[in-house]
Structure 1
Amino acid sequence: MKHINQFAKMCRINYFINSGYLLRTLNLKKCIFTNYEVAKNHYCSTSNILPEIEIEFEERSKLKLSTGKYARFSDGCAVGQLGDTSVLVTAVSKTKPSQMSFFPLSVDYRQKAAAAGRIPTNFLRRELGPTEHEILTSRLIDRSLRPLFPSSYSYETQIMCNLLSVDSIHDPDIISINAASAALSLSDIPWNGPVGAVRVGLCNGEVVINPTRKELEQSSLNLVVTAAAQSLVVMLEASANIVLQQDFLKAIKSGVKECQKIVQSISKLQKQYGKPKRGYEVKVTPNQELVDAVKLLSEVRLNDIFSDSAHDKMSRDNCVRDLRNEILEKLKQGMDETFNQEAISEAFNIVSKEIFRNRIFETNKRCDGRSVDQLRNISCEVDLYNSLHGSAMFQRGQTQVFCTVALDSQESVMKLDTVSALTSGIKEKNFFLHYEFPPYATNEIGRTVPFQRREIGHGALAEKGLRAIIPADFPFTIRLTSEVLESNGSSSMASVCGGSLALMDAGVNVSAPAAGVAIGLVARFDGLDTKHLSDYRILTDILGIEDYLGDMDFKLAGTKKGITALQADVKIPGLPLKVVMESIQAASDAKSKIIDIMNSVIDKARSPKKSNWPVIEKLEIPPNKRGLLIGPGGMNLRKIMLQTGAQISTMSEDGVFSIFAPNQSAMNEAKEVIQSIITADREPSLDFGAIYKAKIVELREIGVMVTLYPTMVPALLHNSQLDQRKVNHPSALGLEVGQEIQVKYFGRDPVSGVMRLSRKVLQSTASVVHNYQESEAT
């Protein structure tokens, strides 16, 4: 065995030994030589021909997927290319199972500046932490892959997506999903794929598959569809400009159809070049005898808990937890040495999930007493605090959000980093939503970090839901914040509702009120076949427990007329199109009812505006007065902005200035200051190097303030320029207010515009006194 290990190290295949790749044959020695030759032939071939497939779309660039050239130590690797945009995706899974109660899958999408021919502009000139665009793309890929992993697989798995090149025409996210699908299919990691993904646009009513960047700018829809074989929908994410429901459904159907081409092509590649799927140790599962014992002890109590509509989130969770602990104690006394707490807890989870779901199928009632299509009680308020531009509180059941709107100048737009701008096509945003989910919202204690991936994802979804109703010509930058105060399901869609109310309270002329709702699903299958539903129930406005024990979290936002955003998070290996269509219909009906409730509080932009409404005006300055307004080095403009709080910027070469003020009083003050400056006598022309009489108007610790002419703004003559000798205070020289002194003028500082004066240069240098030495006299 020692010689075998030494040979393995010499051949640099110790990685395969450690990963368990070589332990699949009974004869270890034979396994080492056999698999080394396989790895050598598969990865180290001198042939230039690599496994590659091409998927064609009508009048579109071809999607290319290849493997065998890069990252050959990973369990699976693929390179996806569309146009000149390429992404390298690797898949690696550990050989020992994780002790976590959930599947530990991590997806990291990173975009390098070099892929766009750029250098990062930060101090270190290298990529730092993930950007918001990278986080959102990582979550998109994760939701496309996670549903197809076996439920019994608990090995830590990592998918890494590295942007190799970008052409600013094709987005890398679609390429990453397809390359990840190929990498997992080719690997030995257990996965029930492949899947295919396409982007769907809607230009002039026509469906466009994988639109280019320019086409997407003209499209009213940006939809990403991920689908598996047999036209099962795995993931949906969309932003839309109030697209009609029938057009949205047409786009989904077209996307699913095109995905089948990709699925079939990857399947062919897998059959020819894929590795055999590895065996794995199934995580601890209770035997049927233990499940029956737990069910016998808990079934009646669980039915009572899940049928008592008087329970709220906290009381229901407490009752379930107490029952779990009670059963653990009972079984601990009866089982003695065979007691396994983990197995009993898992058995209790199985029983509670089964009873919870069965009750919905049998009674069409949910744990809070609602029918499957019934909304929770909704209440909302606006104008909660006078000092805020806009504010609203939206309460749906036990989900509560507090939304605020802040309006600022166009100088406050959110600017994306260079690479994100190239990959997403968005350079800056004048409307953005920040979603906050503090731990107290679920009665927990946690770290108060600036933001988490979940917060970024939910905020981005709510922002998509509201972006379509923001006026295109709105003159201010809008920051909408949504803080979740209580959470029991669908806080992101509550943020859409609260955000719409806050925008109208702030006086933003939205095109129509918007609302959002989450749709759930409980499904039954034909035996062990998880791809064919035998029965299902669609749940409107789901609770947190229905999300946790259900099979889908389908979020949809929009106006009464159409859809603005959608995100489908599926927990089973795909949804039939029929279920997707019914979910969209249920969500559309629900959002119309929610908007009716919201309209009873406020249904359009507030009028008249609040007293703290910001003001923006244009002011034309005559050519001969522009220099006076700007001042040397922009000194006068900075003075006005500091004094009044207004922001002044040049709009054009014609001398039109844009003035933004936080309120009307600040605007009036700024205009008064501007008028006083441009109507004042023009500053006399001073000659560089000339000597002038200066009048001292103020003594300071650091020098004296002087004026050269009556209307002049006092300038500082620093201590260092008062005298040849070191001066700590002007009074040491006997200087007094009102005294006239001579100074030399050296122009103005090119950056600050401050006048540069000196008194020191007018004084003759003192003669050097030498000590008399007797030795020199002799």
Structure 2
Amino acid sequence: MFDTKKVEIEWGGKTLTLETGKVARQADGAVIATLGETVVLCAVTAAKSVKEGQDFFPLTVHYQEKFSAAGRIPGGFFKRERGATEKETLVSRLIDRPIRPLFPEGFYNEINVIAQVLSYDGENEPDILAMIAASAALTISGVPFMGPIGAARVGYDGENYQLNPTDEMVDAGLLDLVVAATGDAVMMVESEAKELSEEVMLGAVMFAHKEIGKVVNAIISLAEKAAKDPWELSTGDDNAAVKAELKKLIGDDIAAAYKTTLKSDRANMLNAARAKAKEAMADKSPQEQMVAMKLVKKIEADIVRTAILKDGRRIDGRDTKTVRPIVAEVGFLPRTHGSALFTRGETQTIATCTLGTKDAEQMIDGLNGLSYQHFMLHYNFPPYSVGEVGRFGAPGRREVGHGKLAWRALHAVLPTKDEFPYTIRLTSDITESNGSSSMASVCGGSLAMMDAGVPIKRPVSGIAMGLILEGKDFAVISDILGDEDHLGDMDFKVAGTSEGITTMQMDIKIAGITEEIMRTALEQAKEGRAHILGEMAKALDTTRTELSAHAPRIETMQIDKSKIREVIGTGGKVIREIVAETGAKVDIDDEGLIKISSSDLSQIEAAKKWIQGIVEEAEVGKIYTGKVVNIVDFGAFVNFMGGKDGLVHVSEMKNERVEKPTDVVSEGMEVKVKVLEVDPRGKVRLSMRVVDQETGAELEDTRPPREERPRGERGERRDRGPRRDGEGRGDRGDRGGRSRGGDRDRGPRRERSENEGPEPEFAPAFLKRDDD
């Protein structure tokens, strides 16, 4: 029934399987990719015709993680997969970015790529498998896809590169890098690193590219068995004559616009040139007009690229290495915990840092179960930042992706939770944009955290690099503008500290780049990052030593694990009482680490003192401050160590005689006491009379010592009456023992049967009866 085609290869010590023909047979291409026990299905469908007036390529990629893949049921009310999570959005972008440039220019048919995780073994990550499955499905579908591509994850332990490392290996290592590539060139790079050198990062990319070649060959083998007939594309006219006519008409206008430094003026001049071209084509058909407008874009690209590649002259007059002017300001907002205004040319962000307690952590429900994130970075891109009218609301895929890139750049320099037990939220609100707002978010976020007093290891800066490539000639440009990004061949972002790279992201708009180009871009980016760090240091060169007055304070204390139960109390009674009485938040983990937080230091101290009273042992001779909690006839009970009470006997309240405890103390009264004794059962005897109740100082005990009463000789034993047998104790009745019921005659004694056994030896004497 099934015409199944399958390819298997050994890859990184595991078996990678690509299979088609058994599932989703009505899709144009469907592949099940398996690595270990992780299984991903990717199905590709393409529209057979183009919508009228379509002038862009409508490629949509969806990645979905099925909770059933890990044997889990989704949380929440609906108990089913809902909208895309942040991870699903990021992986969708991860698949989209390397395949989009590999469709031919002018191909505008709508394509859906849907990847679903069907099984997850907790070891082999499904994102790499989804990228491979998508590439294989496109390759066998027959659509004009100039692939295939492969993908791989690379780790680094300080000495060796690791292919497709597990989560545990990544956490313990220094690098988490994802590469997508064809058999000839690298297409995409995404990474998070712990301050690694350019040489190590480049080596990781090349290592990945070598391993990816095996996957590309496997996809080609599958295509040889199962690929559908390729689509026929109409070649059409290259429109050279129309392009030449348009260039003659508006070429000088476009060249003049791209020599204008100010973005708004440049945009106005370009819009005027485009309107001039549109007016000249007014008598043409709608299709011809659409083609003409695309040709105008090509003319713009040709003019900009030629000026950069041949003359070294950029749109705003800079050379290829110069970074735009930078102005950085910290403490920009008065009530935030930390803030910075970072401006680089016409790109600007307001970055804010907010500190919170553990209960502000983000809960993430994924295939690996529940996890908690204590560092968040949220990137916002309102339409006014580019002078446009547009949608304003929930973040889209681009915002999520840019925020995650900045998150990776800063994550490597954060202090550990033991060093800084706060939840950290950064926001980057882009207020102006003309090139690399994500790298501005890195710079602004770094300054905002330093302003908030977060003890990061070192400041982080970021820069975006571009590429103009014509044949063998190329130019790498630093700190690209928005127009240079749109008209160039590469968007290469690098962020890091003075010690090394923390993140690197690359997207290619052509069929890949070589090792030589990447090496040049990395070295040029290093120079640019160092310059930006110097400009940032003018605003703030080190982390502030004090937190904002508006930030919560968190103090930690470690207690013995055996005392955790006492601090929490039955059903949480004790810890709730501490929180209610002091106003501080108290969190305790399974190892006995307690975090006490409040914006009021006095509340923290009160909670800390309470907990210390619970876990510490009373020390004989030490003076404590306590509260009277109960008064009895013979004294008062004082709570003096949170969970500990001691007795102040009435004789220990004052040196003079006290008739009633209520003459001296009342319930709720605060008193100072000295520990006199702790008996083996833990009961504590306290004294008030030897402590100055005003100052808490110990007083000299002026009461004369109690005189010892002499103990005389014992003498003779007194007569205790007759014995039970009637001898020596007098007559105690007919029973010969003590009477229990008057003179009632109980009758003769019953003989015990053999089954009852002998009379127990331990029976009390008064239950035994004499035989006589």
Q: What band does the TM-score fall into relative to the shorter chain?
A: 0.7 to 0.9
**Cα shift at 1:393:** 0.9
Structure-2 residue corresponding to 1:599: 537
The aligned runs of 1:12-51 (5 Å cut-off) are 44-45=1-2, 50-51=4-5
Partner Cα distance (2:199, 2:465) in 1 = 19
Select the residue among 99, 108, 123 that pairs with 1:145.
99
Which one has a larger percent helix, Structure 1 or Structure 2?
A: 1
CA contact (8 A) 1:70 1:77 kept: yes
CA contact (8 A) 1:404 1:499 kept: yes
Select the residue among 491, 512, 524 that pairs with 1:553.
491
The aligned runs of 1:288-307 (5 Å cut-off) are 288-307=240-259
**Cα shift at 1:277:** 0.8
Structure-2 residue corresponding to 1:662: 599
Letter in 2 for 1:548: H
Structure-2 residue corresponding to 1:8: none
**Rg larger in structure:** 2
1:165 has 2:111 as partner = no
The aligned runs of 1:629-640 (5 Å cut-off) are 634=572, 637-638=575-576
**Cα shift at 1:347:** 2.2
Letter in 2 for 1:356: V
The aligned runs of 1:262-661 (5 Å cut-off) are 262-280=215-233, 287-308=239-260, 311-332=261-282, 335=283, 340-419=288-367, 421=368, 427-472=371-416, 473=418, 474-524=420-470, 533-618=471-556, 634=572, 637-638=575-576, 641=579, 645-651=583-589, 657-661=594-598
Partner Cα distance (2:46, 2:145) in 1 = 11
Partner Cα distance (1:79, 1:456) in 2 = 28
Structure-2 residue corresponding to 1:83: 36
Residues 386-425 of structure 1 show CA distances to partners (whole Å, capped at 9, x for unaligned) of 3221111110000000111111112222221032x36xxx
CA contact (8 A) 1:144 1:177 kept: no
Partner Cα distance (1:178, 1:389) in 2 = 44
Structure-2 residue corresponding to 1:248: 201
**Cα shift at 1:127:** 0.8
**Cα shift at 1:382:** 0.5
Cα distance change, pair 287–661 in 1 and its aligned pair in 2 (3 A)? same
Partner Cα distance (1:148, 1:459) in 2 = 26
**Cα shift at 1:663:** 4.4
Partner Cα distance (1:77, 1:623) in 2 = 54
**Cα shift at 1:684:** 9.7
Structure-2 residue corresponding to 1:680: 627
Partner Cα distance (1:683, 1:270) in 2 = 86
**Cα shift at 1:383:** 1.2
171-180 or 144-153, which deviates more: 144-153
Cα distance change, pair 683–574 in 1 and its aligned pair in 2 (3 A)? farther
Partner Cα distance (2:49, 2:150) in 1 = 29
2:484 partner SS: helix
Partner Cα distance (2:127, 2:591) in 1 = 41
Partner Cα distance (2:286, 2:398) in 1 = 40
CA contact (8 A) 2:629 2:668 kept: no
Letter in 1 for 2:387: N
Residues 94-149 of structure 1 show CA distances to partners (whole Å, capped at 9, x for unaligned) of 01114443211111000111000011122121111111111111100111211111
Partner Cα distance (1:637, 1:229) in 2 = 61
Select the residue among 152, 159, 162 that pairs with 1:208.
162
Cα distance change, pair 336–106 in 1 and its aligned pair in 2 (3 A)? closer
2:98 partner SS: helix
**Cα shift at 1:217:** 2.0
1:221 has 2:165 as partner = no
1:432 partner SS: strand
1:177 partner SS: helix
Q: TM-score, normalised by structure 1?
A: 0.75
Partner Cα distance (2:241, 2:521) in 1 = 38
669-678 or 372-381, which deviates more: 669-678
Partner Cα distance (1:247, 1:136) in 2 = 25
Cα distance change, pair 339–154 in 1 and its aligned pair in 2 (3 A)? closer
Structure-2 residue corresponding to 1:72: 25
Cα distance change, pair 339–651 in 1 and its aligned pair in 2 (3 A)? closer
1:155 partner SS: coil
662-671 or 478-487, which deviates more: 662-671
**Cα shift at 1:67:** 0.9
What's the % identity of the aligned pairs? 38
CA contact (8 A) 1:432 1:480 kept: yes
Structure-2 residue corresponding to 1:29: none
**Cα shift at 1:275:** 1.1
**Cα shift at 1:668:** 4.4
CA contact (8 A) 1:521 1:536 kept: yes
Partner Cα distance (2:33, 2:285) in 1 = 54
CA contact (8 A) 1:612 1:663 kept: no
2:213 partner SS: helix
Cα distance change, pair 340–249 in 1 and its aligned pair in 2 (3 A)? closer
Q: TM-score, normalised by structure 2?
A: 0.76
1:65 partner SS: strand
**Cα shift at 1:612:** 3.4
- What root-mean-square deviation, in Å, do the aligned CA atoms of Structure 1 and Structure 2 show? 2.9
User: Is there any run of 5+ residues in structure 1 with no aligned partner, and where?
Assistant: 1-43, 525-532, 686-709, 714-778
CA contact (8 A) 2:61 2:95 kept: yes
**Cα shift at 1:243:** 1.2
Partner Cα distance (1:397, 1:388) in 2 = 25
CA contact (8 A) 1:520 1:538 kept: yes
Alignment size in residue pairs: 624
